[in-house]
Structure 1
Amino acid sequence: MPETADLLDNIAALKALLIAATAREARKDERIERLEKLVAAFRQAAFGRKSERADPDQFDLALEDLETAIATIRAEEGADVAPSKRASKPRAPNRGSLPGHLPRIEEVIEPESLICTCGGCLHCIGEDVSERLDVVPAQFRVIITRRPKYACRSCGDGVRQAPAPAHLIEGGIPTEATIAHVLVSKYADHLPLYRQAQIYSRQGIDLDRSTLADWVGKAAYELKPVFEALIADLKCSSKLFMDETRAPVLDPGRRKTKTGYFWALARDDRPWGGEDPPGVAFTYAPGRSGQYAERILQGFTGVLQVDGYTGYNRLIGPERIGGDIRLAYCWAHARRKLYEVAQNATAPIAEEGLGRIAALYQIEKDIAGLSAEARLAVRQARSKPLIANMETWLVHHRARVSPKAPLGEALKYIAKYWDGLCLFLTDGRVEVDNNSVERSIRPIAINRKNALFAGHDAGAENWGVIASLVETCKLNDVDPQAWLTNVLTRIVNGHKQSQIKDLLPWNYPVKV
């Protein structure tokens, strides 16, 4: 590069440098703007309205790469500016405050000298304090248990020794905390066992994947009574959600996978301040027939909020023996049908239907967090007239639109489930959609993507047991690692089966 003195006499070189610098800055601005637009588009697709958005998990990697690219360009921008010319106040990221329960390690950085240029001593007039998040990588350690043996020199009457403590894996190397860590890594963080084995290997710990699987199987067996207590507690409620999702399972005899299903039974009374704690239980079944839903719900009486899957009709059939079940249906699914029509063609009727449903959701937004009684009063005053008007609108347009057209099918769907869609008008506890259980079931889908399929029906059942307890911990703001360590320890030490309810996540005393 020419020296500064030469540049002053070389107008052409000066112009070339200026043009290059301007072009470089323009390219940076253009790259950042283009990347930021892509990020905004990805965020809309991932986090927009339920019916318009795609699965957020599909966008995670792309978003990470885009945001990393933006940060790299900004770092390049900063490197090109002399330190003295950089902004004195750096851009403040929106990172929130660091949790108070984290341990603090303080360091004090003193000036090189506390003697003033005049020869006097400096005194402290204040300080600047900053906090940064630090991490200590996971550390494995070995617990050595010694049990001394004692004998009497006088009489030689036997040997005295403390009994060996009970362990989940008798004669094995893991503590209950280690097994809990494996469970959380697999079922909360979606890390398959073979990847966990690789992580252990980097620490010089040679653990075969089959060994980890043995630990998980033993834990699932011991935790099954807690899972059964969870389902029993959920079915004591008078309002639940239910949904199902695919569970590909290896079928060794056919050398391919078969499709099983996880049926999610969930309770979430938080939107109206109910006293029962939230929970979700995943039960594996080899199929999607309504008979499996009926079997899972034996003993339940009350309102069941579901989507429009016809298998649930078995629960309200006249021949069914059992408690009375009323089905509340999902406005989000009804809206989705209209949205698909509006997206694929100009459809003013579908657009109008979307607007009517949006008005119902706005009312729900206004009453979020109120008691069931208050919600019901507002719905009777504001939502009921909208529903009555929508029913007239629905009858009118169904008579005009071909039932075989996409719009006709969307309107037919709404009409078919109309009574269940309107159940929220008579019960303040009922939600307008099934989104609560759909959110609870998402981790199963994430695990399915990572593990591809379960190895066996029994493996899928174990999956349901542990995933249910982990997700219920998360719903109740309980650390699943701490809870599993505590519960496994109490079980191996002989916790009474008659008091199994005491082990449910919402009874765990330590919250995050």
Structure 2
Amino acid sequence: MPHTADLLEEIATLKAMLIASEAHNLRKDERIERLEKLVAAFRHAAFGRRSEKSDPDQFELALEDLETAIAAIHAEEDAENRAAKRPAKPRAANRGSLPKHLPRIEEVIEPDSLICACGGGLHCIGEDVSERLDIIPAQFRVIVTRRPKYACRSCTDGVTQAPAPARLIPGGMPTEATVAHVLVSKYADHLPLYRQAQIYSRQGVELDRSTLADWVGRAAFELRPVHDALLADLKRSTKLFMDETRAPVLDPGARKTKTGYFWALARDDRPWGGASPPSVAFTYAPGRGGQHAERILQGFGGILQVDGYAGYNRLIAPDRIGPGIQLAYCWAHARRKLIEITRTGSAPIAEEGVTLIRDLYAIETDIRGSEPAARLAARQERSAPILARIDAWISHHRARASAKSPLGEALAYIAKYRGGLGRFLTDGRVELDSNTVERTIRPIALNRKNALFAGHDAGAENWAVIASLIETCKMNGVDPHAWLATTFTAIVNGHKQSQIHDLLPWNYAATV
């Protein structure tokens, strides 16, 4: 299995060869074979079972280039076959399926004549049907609202007119669906507002970025009660995940950025058959100190699965006021430290540890979706002996490895958090890792790459509100645009605060 650096170097070499004139002289089959081998190697590096090597996102562009090169060679081959009037080679292709809800535009292609060569009339004995996906670029339309005025000819009691409908943006031009589109484009598709303005301009719709920002800010304000209801619902759970990620924020006074943090609180009970819907709520805080986690978790009592960040320790301090929290830690972080050691060369001790942890994950794959009691029984029978071997392995090698060596530090990390790492053996709801919450943070990181930083603390808070609701929609299989448009309409029509829970994304899913 080649290393990532080797793969990148090989891709660069192969692309140069394909561009150079001598590459044209290679047999097509040979070029395709080499490209397909690289695709397979890259996919294994990015998504294989041992892949703690890098974030898969960094592989996407390379994979796109490789697969595009393969398709270009196939197109060249097809063109030559057509010119020579040879049948095209059959190729396996994953074209996907077209959803039933999409509108169908039927076209019937008839022969030039329905008269047979013998002079008789042809009759239909069947047909071939094919479907292709067609896209109409985003089209704007104008909703014209007319409110006729009526007056009585027999008296002067005044004018009768229907009241103007409520709007999310008072006096503004966007419909609720338009504001939803702007939010989804920014927070789900990672299109900054100035790029959206450029796209709209191509349709002849001139909108300032500042106008779009005004819409986003007003929408965020209206969505805050829903975000608060989401966070409150999460804290009523007895098992949650938590993590944090950087949120660079512009600091105009210092003419640079300062580092705030998005704290993510997530729930996903599906692995053990829990009934609570999956969800995530982000909260912005100006720092990473444990006091922020404590503030966010006020009122929560139960198991909290986290990484090894020391700031969480204050949550289990003896003098903590409120319901007790039990910390469960993340085996993926422990494994990552060992895998980093194996990258630098032969490391049989670290490789042994990776293998033992992999055995724990294999058991989790078998029991995923089972009830907590069944998961716990399987773990007591199958995982406990492996964990005992891990304990013995740590004890044996810590006595021999330098405490300051990478191996010594990795062993010390596992030993330090061993209590929380073993909590999955006492509660069937606990996962082996905190990957659930890390997955919810990835879109935040993508947005951060595009936007570089938030313009203000308040901007980061709005970011957290909207991202929470969009990511929760995605976790529940709900179209965020449809949910936002419906929710905005309900809000402007006076949805009661006492019934705010009805607006949460999973309740929308239950009604569609």
Distance in 2 (alpha carbons) for counterparts of 1:375 and 1:295: 33
3-state DSSP of counterpart to 1:80? helix
* Higher mean C-alpha deviation, range 376-385 or range 28-37: 28-37
Amino acid at match of 1:277: P
Q: Is the 8 A contact 1:328 1:430 kept in 2?
A: yes
Deviation string, structure 1 residues 253-292 (Cα, Å, up to 9, x no partner): 0111111110000000111111000000110111111110
C-alpha deviations, 1:76-97, integer Å up to 9, x for none?
1222234554335642411222
CA contact (8 A) 2:241 2:304 kept: yes
The separation in 2 between residues aligned to 1:38 and 1:255, in whole angstroms, is: 45
- Alignment-derived partner of residue 378 in structure 1: 378
Match of residue 480 from structure 2 = 480
Matched to 2:111, the amino acid is: P
Q: CA deviation at 1:131?
A: 1.2
Cα distance in 1 between the residues matched to 2:293 and 2:174: 38
> Superposition pairs for residues 124-143 of structure 1, below 5 Å?
124-143=124-143
Written as runs of structure 1 = structure 2, the 5 A alignment for 1:356-395 is 356-395=356-395
1:38: which partner in 2?
38
Correspondence 1:334-349 to 2 at 5 A: 334-349=334-349
Give yes or no for contact 1:242–1:305 (8 Å, CA) kept in 2: yes
Deviation at residue 402 of structure 1 after TM alignment: 1.6
Structure 2: which 5+ runs fail to align?
1-21
Name the CA distance, whole Å, in 1 between partners of 2:104 and 2:460: 42
Which range is displaced more, 39-48 or 168-177?
Answer: 39-48
- Mapped to 1, the partners of 2:53 and 2:133 lie a distance apart of 33
Contact map agreement 1:51 1:332 (CA 8 A) in 2: no
Name the counterpart of 1:59.
59
TM-score (norm 1): 0.93
Partner Cα distance (1:473, 1:292) in 2: 26
**Which aligned pairs between 1:159-238 and structure 2 lie closer than 5 A?**
159-238=159-238
Corresponding residue number in structure 1 for 2:355: 355
State the shift of 1:29 in Å.
3.4
Q: In the alignment, what sits opposite 2:71?
A: 71
Deviation at 1:309, TM superposition (A): 0.7
The answer for the alignment partner of 1:465 in structure 2 is 465
Query: Are 1:51 and 1:339, in contact at CA under 8 Å, matched by a contact in 2?
Result: no
Aligned to 1:243, the other structure's residue is in SS state strand
Task: Tell me the distance in 2 between the aligned counterparts of 1:509 and 1:418.
Answer: 40
Once the two structures are TM-superposed, the CA of residue 489 in structure 1 deviates from its matched residue by 0.8
Q: Tell me which amino acid in the other structure corresponds to 2:309.
A: Y
Equivalence map 1:251-262=2 (5 Å): 251-262=251-262
CA distance in 1, matches of 2:288, 2:175: 39
Q: Matched residues in 2 for 1:329 and 1:85: separation?
A: 64
Tell me if structure 2 keeps the 8 A contact 1:264–1:283: yes
Q: Which residue of 1 aligns with 2:108?
A: 108
Residue identity in the other structure for 1:293: A
Asked if the contact 2:81/2:87 (under 8 Å) is kept, the reply is no
Deviation at 1:109, TM superposition (A): 1.5
- Matched-pair identity in %: 77
Deviates more, 1:80-89 or 1:270-279: 80-89
Partners of 1:423 and 1:231 in 2: CA distance: 25
State the distance in 1 between where 2:248 and 2:163 align.
45
| Deviation digits for residues 110-132 of structure 1 (CA, Å, limit 9, x no counterpart) | 22222222222222222211111
Distance 1:457 1:31 in 2: 52
The CA deviation at 1:24 is 5.1
In the alignment, which residue of structure 1 is the partner of 2:493? 493
Distance 1:31 1:509, change over 3 A: closer
Which protein has the larger Cα radius of gyration, Structure 1 or Structure 2? 1
CA contact (8 A) 2:476 2:509 kept: no
Alpha carbons of structure 1 residues 394 and 23: separation in structure 2 relative to 1, 3 Å? closer
Paired residue type of 1:469? L
The CA distance in 1 between the partners of 2:25 and 2:143, in whole Å, is 58
Distance 1:395 1:114 in 2: 86
Counterpart Cα distance in 2 of 1:393 and 1:41: 32
Taking a change above 3 Å as real, the CA distance of residues 143 and 24 of structure 1, as seen in their structure-2 partners, is: closer
Residue 304 of structure 1: CA displacement? Answer: 0.3
Q: Tell me how far 1:27 sits from its aligned partner.
A: 4.3
Shift of 1:509: 4.2
Counterpart of 1:312?
312
Tell me which amino acid in the other structure corresponds to 1:175: T
Report the CA distance between 1:50 and its aligned residue: 6.5
- Give the corresponding residue for 2:275: 275
| Root-mean-square deviation over aligned CA pairs | 1.7
How many residue pairs end up in the alignment?
Answer: 491
1:102 to partner: Cα distance = 1.2
Which amino acid is 2:152 matched to? Answer: C
2:144 alignment counterpart: 144
On the 8 A contact 1:183/1:216 being kept in 2, the answer is: yes
Q: Which amino acid aligns with 1:252?
A: P
Q: CA deviation at 1:48?
A: 2.6
Show structure 1 runs of 5+ residues with no match. Answer: 1-21
String of CA shifts for 1:229-261, please: whole Å, max 9, x gaps. 000000000000001101111000011111111
For the 8 Å contact 2:44–2:51, the answer to whether it is kept is no
**Which letter maps to 2:439?**
R
| Shift in CA distance, 346/62, structure 1 to aligned 2, threshold 3 Å | closer
Corresponding position: 1:303 with 2:303: yes
2:435 aligns to what? Answer: 435
Q: Aligned residue for 1:157?
A: 157
2:469 partner letter? L
Q: Secondary structure at the match of 1:264?
A: strand
Structure 1 SS opposite 2:300: coil
1:360-413 per-residue CA deviation (whole Å, 9 max, x = no partner) reads 111001111111111111111111111122212211221121211111111110
d(CA) in 2 for partners of 1:77 and 1:187? 41
What are the Cα deviations for residues 134-166 of structure 1, in whole angstroms up to 9, with x where unaligned?
112111011111111111111111111111111
Supply the distance in 2 between the matched residues of 1:342 and 1:107 (Cα, whole angstroms): 60
- The answer for the alignment partner of 2:4 in structure 1 is none
